Amino acid sequence: MQKHLSEDKQKLISKINQLDDQKVIDDLMRLLAVDFDDTIYLTNDVQKSAVAEAREALKSGKGISDSDVNQEIDEWLEK
């Protein structure tokens, strides 16, 4: 298993060394800067119900698109 991991790392390093697209490099840098949190959060019944309700609202089209949210935030920040 360790050998496979080492081979994967070498392949990844090789691919990164071949990159010439600054946007891709920037995206990779942001990805690598992310601190992954594997904390498990325990929720109570009320919280579980709220999550289920929100998921149903999204499924039925009652959500707000990312672009609309960003526009609302931009408008709010300008005030």
**pLDDT at residue 3 tops 80:** no
Over residues 31-73, the pLDDT tens digits come to 888 777 778 889 999 999 999 999 999 999 998 888 999 899 9
Q: Is 61 left (phi over 0), alpha (psi -120 to 50) or beta?
A: left
**pLDDT at residue 1 tops 60:** no
Instruction: Indicate the DSSP class of residue 61.
Output: T
Backbone angles phi, psi at 43, to 5 degrees: -115, 150
Q: Is the pTM of this model over 0.85?
A: no
Instruction: Tell me what the mean pLDDT of segment 16-37 comes to.
Output: 88
**pLDDT at residue 78 tops 80:** yes
Residue 78 corresponds to which tokens in the numbers above?
A: 């300008």
